[in-house]
Amino acid sequence: MRSSARVQHALAYVLHARDFRETGRIIELFSREHGRLTAFGRGIRGPRSRLAPLLQPFAPLLVSWSGRGEAVTLTGTELCPRPTLRAALPAGALMSAWYLNELVLKLTSRHDAVPDLFDAYEQALDGLTGAEVAATLRRFEKQMLDHLGYGLDFSSDAETGEAVDPAHHYRFRAGHGFMVAEPAAGTISGAALQAMAGEDFSDLESVRSARAVLRLALDHALEGRELATREVARALARAVPTSAASSRAPAPVPAK
């Protein structure tokens, strides 16, 4: 859906921003009713700017803009109190939140509104304020694939069409599905598949299995495009032993 000539107070989040000329910024927004769009913010950098402190990621905003086409011009921003969000993100969850933003940036199309995905994004941000970060990420990954048309069929064998049996094991192939297999490294129990289908990530097996499956499915949807947040997570993981030697409180590594 193309942006209207003038939009007032659209619910949106900042996904990414970069400087533009001396005082401007180019802002990638994710809105509920207008999808993802690029907005030019002119004169919003500097200590006297009223908008700069508001245009921060992970905060619900009411954004106004004008213009059509690939990019619009930002005309106003204000914070939007959202009862669905419990609290601000803790520092340890920020990398995971950036991961959500990068998935939205890489997998959605501009001006293509997907309200259900927006709602799932808000729910994921809220989930990251709690203790079950890995389960929150897996749930969002699954929902994102569903809402964008890449959803997985967890209920049947891709080759035979038979229903998944909780007593059997299955192997996953991106773009094809799940196929019954002998128990081995890399296979997933039918019980874990049933848990994933119901977005039940309450046990370690379902979380680990979902991480492996959803990563393969996301890589297939990304078509070779790399995620910068994964590389940062890997770099942090490599740095943990070094920091642990000098400090007994290493930084947490996001569960990607």
CB 32 within 8 A of CB 10: yes
Task: Compute the radius of gyration of the chain from its Cα atoms.
Answer: 20
Helical H runs in the chain? 94-107, 115-127, 133-147, 190-197, 204-222, 228-246
- The CA distance from 12 to 16, in Å, is 12
Burial label, 231 (beta-carbon count in 10 A; 0-12, 13-18, 19+): exposed
| 18 token code pair | 């970069």
| 222 token code pair | 């990304």
Counting Cα atoms < 13 Å in the Cβ hemisphere of 71 gives 10
78 strand-pairing partners: 62
Q: Which residue type is seen at 123? A: Q
| 59 token code pair | 């905060």
pTM above 0.85, yes or no: yes
Task: Report which of 150, 143, 114 is spatially closest to residue 127, judged by C-alpha positions.
Answer: 143
CB 243 within 8 A of CB 250: yes
CB 180 within 8 A of CB 157: yes
Task: Report which of 107, 104, 106 is spatially closest to residue 125, judged by C-alpha positions.
Answer: 104
pLDDT in tens, the chain (256 residues): 454 579 999 999 999 999 888 888 999 999 999 999 999 988 887 767 777 788 899 999 999 999 977 789 999 999 998 776 666 888 889 999 999 999 999 999 999 999 999 999 999 999 999 889 999 999 999 999 999 999 999 999 999 999 999 999 999 999 999 999 999 999 999 999 999 999 999 888 889 999 999 999 999 999 999 999 988 878 877 776 654 444 444 344 444 5
CB 81 within 8 A of CB 62: no
